Chains A and B, each alone.
Chain A
Amino acid sequence: MTYNVWQVIREGLRGQTGWTPVWRNPTPKPAYDVIVIGGGGHGLATAYYLAKNHGITNVAVLERGYLGGGNVGRNTTIVRANYHIDGNTEFYSHALKLWEGLEQDLNYNAMMSQRGVINLAHSDGQMDFYARRGNIIRMQGDDAELLDRAAVRRAYPYLNHQDPRFPIYGGLLQRRGGTARHDAVAWGFARGADQRGVDLIQNCEVTGFRIEQGVVKGVETSRGYIAAGKVGMAVAGRTSQVGAMAGLRLPIESHVLQAFVSEGLKPILPGVVTFGMGHFYISQSDKGGLVFGGDLDFYNSYAARGNLPMLEHVVEAGMALMPMLGKARMLRSWGGIMDMSMDGSPIIDRTPVEGLYLNGGWCYGGFKATPASGWCFAHLLATGTHSEHATKFLLNRFETGHVIDEEGTGAQPNRH
């Protein structure tokens, strides 16, 4: 069924009684050409592009819980392509282009809003760095605009422009960046994959791999054994555990990242703002809530909840940037489990087990990557070669020294 405006009007008049389930709920078949482990944004996008770009539809997505119940539902929904290192720049550039056509492609409203992402600068040195980064982004073919102090003040009057300690010198604005509705992205990919014949199997936990002479034959699950020609893991947050079942030790630690949302307020922030003097970023949802977050809690965690000292730290940074925040009530906070890799960049690659492929290590950049991650992982699964957009996210880059360390902090996963 293709959605259109007439259906919306008709269902509005009929009390929304005519909608049917968006995807099937199939029982697993004994064998598939490709199994994707993980029914989050990346896994669903992978299945969608396997079917759409490569015509491979005998595919199952295995999800331990429910579709979109992991990190794709636990992020701050920001989309941007303002990276400055080879490997990352072309990949996120491709992601942003996919985002721009995603809703038409999926025939699904993902509430993609290109409201702009601005990184604030608070010193001459930072302005110089942003000028350089902006040039790199433009050479990549994306947009970046260096704003001076007055321009930032015009666009964002509610920031603290009189702070003597962290004066706002200007900022690097990417107008094509913005936000998207995270759940709808997962649902849109799920619907698109289902319509093309992919089996989306929920409540199906992978409990082991069947590997014979170094070749993966299938997966053991809580709903029985399922054979597969190829298996792709897209389980960021739990990559180490799933990988360990196949005997892999990976350059990944799992950390908790918290996010917070305030009560609904009138529109005050036109776009996404990042504070340059602390790890703090904020945007306003379409409902009016201020959505913000900061650093990791810094210690390994699978708890999907954080501790209060980081809440205090984030709120202090927020108050320094935007003192009016103190008048807003905070409604909710939550934590997501981040696959923190050793250089802060993801992995889309083969593994030493033949037929087993890895997509993980997304750190806290997973959401904006969703369509390109699926696109490139599907390319790898279908053809056995790397997509031109993701040639450098190799598993062995740590061994060979070809790390993609955007922050320049070395093999310290909690510092990226």
Chain B
Amino acid sequence: MRLTCPLCGVRDIREFTYLGSAKLLERPAGDAGAAVFHDYVHLRDNPAGANRELWYHGMGCCAWLHVVRDTRDHTVLDVRLAQEDPA
């Protein structure tokens, strides 16, 4: 598996670290309440198909990437900088 980093080009998967669902970018406001934070921290859509997720290019440019990847066959559908495309 390889990811095409917008800054570095096509790179081996070993240069990246996986964090999890890109929903982690959408942190609720501090006073949103326990139910909202429970959803944010614990609940996941976990799709069999296109999954929005966060990868960190630690052995490259150290950018956080927002990747859309098909979880059924690992096809990478889209890679953007998380900074520029938080949603």
A contacts, CB < 8 Å to B: 238, 240-241, 249-254, 298-303, 307, 309, 342, 398-399, 411-414
| Minimal beta-carbon separation of B83 from chain A (angstroms) | 21
Instruction: Evaluate contact between B42 and A342: CB separation under 8 angstroms.
Output: yes
For A398, list chain B residues within 8 Å (CB).
38, 41-42
Instruction: Evaluate contact between B46 and A252: CB separation under 8 angstroms.
Output: yes
B85 in contact (CB, < 8 A) = no
B contacts, CB < 8 Å to A: 1, 12-14, 17-18, 20-21, 34-35, 38-39, 41-48, 51, 53, 69, 71-74
Assembled-state Cα–Cα distance A14/B73 (Å): 47
Assembled-state Cα–Cα distance A309/B41 (Å): 28
Instruction: Evaluate contact between B71 and A252: CB separation under 8 angstroms.
Output: no
Assembled-state Cα–Cα distance A407/B1 (Å): 28
Assembled-state Cα–Cα distance A231/B20 (Å): 31
Could you write out 17 A-B pairs with CB less than 8 Å apart? A240-B46, A240-B48, A249-B44, A251-B42, A253-B44, A253-B46, A254-B46, A299-B18, A299-B53, A299-B69, A300-B51, A300-B53, A302-B48, A303-B72, A398-B41, A399-B35, A414-B20
Assembled-state Cα–Cα distance A250/B13 (Å): 28
Assembled-state Cα–Cα distance A252/B44 (Å): 6
**Given pairs A254-B71, A309-B12, A412-B20, 8 additional interface contacts (CB within 8 A):** A240-B45, A249-B39, A300-B53, A300-B71, A303-B72, A303-B74, A399-B34, A414-B18
Assembled-state Cα–Cα distance A413/B19 (Å): 10
For B18, list chain A residues within 8 Å (CB).
298-299, 414
Assembled-state Cα–Cα distance A303/B12 (Å): 19
| Minimal beta-carbon separation of B21 from chain A (angstroms) | 8
For A299, list chain B residues within 8 Å (CB).
18, 53, 69
